[in-house]
Amino acid sequence: MKTIKRRDFLKLAGAGVGLLAGPLSAAERSSQKRPDILFVFTDQQRADMLSSAGNKYVKTPAMDSVGANGARFEQAYCANPVCAPSRFSMMTGVMPSRIGMEDNADIQKKVPGEILEQSLGWVFRNAGYETAYGGKVHLPMTLEQIGFDCISQDERRGLADACAAFLRRKHERPFLLVASFINPHDICYMAINANGKKPYYTKELSNAQKLPEGVSRQEFLEKICPPLPPNFEIPQGEPEGVTQVDPRRFRFYVREHWGEEDWRLHRWAYCRLTEVVDAEIGTVLRALREAGLEESTLVVFSSDHGDLDATHRLEHKSVLYEEAMRVPFVVSWKGVTKPGLVDSDHLVSTGLDLIPTLCDFAGITPPKGLTGRSVRPLAEGRKPDSWRDLLVVESKHSRAIRTGRFKYTVYDVGEHREALGDLEKDPGEMKNLAGDPAFINVLEKHRKILRKCMEETGDKVADRYIVQ
């Protein structure tokens, strides 16, 4: 990760980036009624990995408690289903392609000063907030460059304890605390180890793979272990690009060699790792309550991207299927947001909408040029004046456009590069309609929509995804 030179940092500060406002008095803080903000996000957690989303194979009481006081958005999409690009988008409010970033290998891409200036930490620090960040970073810029103080480099239990300590201490100014937890990301290592020469090991994954005591393997598989997903099989007409977006052999080794039991054990471990991080988040939320801050704090919960977890005989992320793209997104401020609201009607971009949403609740004018929208009206149960009817998701060698009913995906590799899915009739994306003459008009319409969107977002590699 590159570091910023001192003289460059001072230039940014001189331009108004990072000018730390002085402490607010208790009276000033009370009169402004600006909320403290806690943004908690996990790594590699798909949208349905919540018991509140109807998943009966996982128990997530801490995550569910956030939604109990607020709104959960079921149509929330990350900007790119890979760690570094997705995190870059959340922290800056722009699409990763703006700097030519498509995957983790692009983490050395240069980030222009104008993007650093509008990043999440600086926006809130310049507005008088104390800004703190703990846990996994994985960005093409340092925390210092985006206006955060680091409270912990631990990504696991140590992060939860550091956040709890931060919440319990006295704060003279409102704070924005970002807690970035690593799990359930450890699920990656199951497939890597299946085809790897040197096994990856974490204590959490080892425990997650253990079967429950007191039951036979047969009973476990018959009654306890999650079943295969309905869209387990490879879709009809799948573009060749699916197998070329990630050249690492292990991904397609398991696609070719894992049997039903292997995939089900993967799903079991994924649930257990999600419960591990839920317990860590519970530590943070308990400290928030004990510090008397629950009613004055906006809590937002999300993840950087999902996991395919046996969908189409795939695991990991990066492929633009729904399970990799859709993530949890919960916005909660007790007494302000509508308790228990589940919004399944509006398309939300966690990368583009996070900064505008937090600014809206804090009474801060968001940076000019951001194209995201605040979900505050939706979270409060109000009808917005207007809302987007489409959004783009990016990945290595591919782009996808999601409209109300359809989803169009195009790859820059392979002979058959396009996929068109009818998510209303085929939510599991089991049939590619791109070659169906009955849908040629829909296909051509989505080609044009994607081209226009890439122009608007400043996609630096857009030419590769234009189909005439």
- Domains, the chain: 6-186+270-386 (3.40.720.10), 392-465 (3.30.1120.10)
Residue 361 burial by Cβ neighbours in a 10 Å radius (0-12, 13-18, 19+): buried
Q: Give me the long-range contacts of 27-30 (CB less than 8 A, separation at least 24).
A: 29/172, 29/173, 29/174
Q: Which of 3, 45, 11 is nearest to 280 (CA)?
A: 45
Question: 236 forms bridges with which residues in the sheet?
Answer: 431
77-123 per-position pLDDT tens digit? 999 999 999 999 999 999 999 999 999 999 999 999 999 999 999 99
Return the pLDDT at 33: 81
Ramachandran angles phi, psi of 402, nearest 5°:
-110, 120
Residue 216 burial by Cβ neighbours in a 10 Å radius (0-12, 13-18, 19+): exposed
Return the pLDDT at 196: 74
| Contact between 140 and 88 (Cβ < 8 Å) | yes
158-210 per-position pLDDT tens digit? 999 999 999 999 999 999 999 999 999 999 999 999 987 678 889 999 999 99
Match 């939300």 to its residue by tokens: 348
Residue segments in the chain with a per-residue pLDDT below the cut of 50? 1-32
Return the pLDDT at 468: 77
Return the pLDDT at 244: 84
Element (DSSP H or E) covering residue 406: strand 406-411
Return the pLDDT at 195: 82
What distance in Å separates the CA atoms of residue 57 and residue 68, rounded to the nearest whole number? 20
Return the pLDDT at 433: 98
CB atoms within 10 A of CB 64: 17
Task: Return the CA Rg of the chain.
Answer: 22
pTM of the model: 0.92
Ramachandran angles phi, psi of 410, nearest 5°:
-135, 140
Return the pLDDT at 457: 87
Match 């085929």 to its residue by tokens: 426
Task: Please report, for residues 96, 125, 408, the alpha-carbon distance to residue 3 in angstroms, rounded to integers and kept in the order given.
Answer: 19, 20, 38
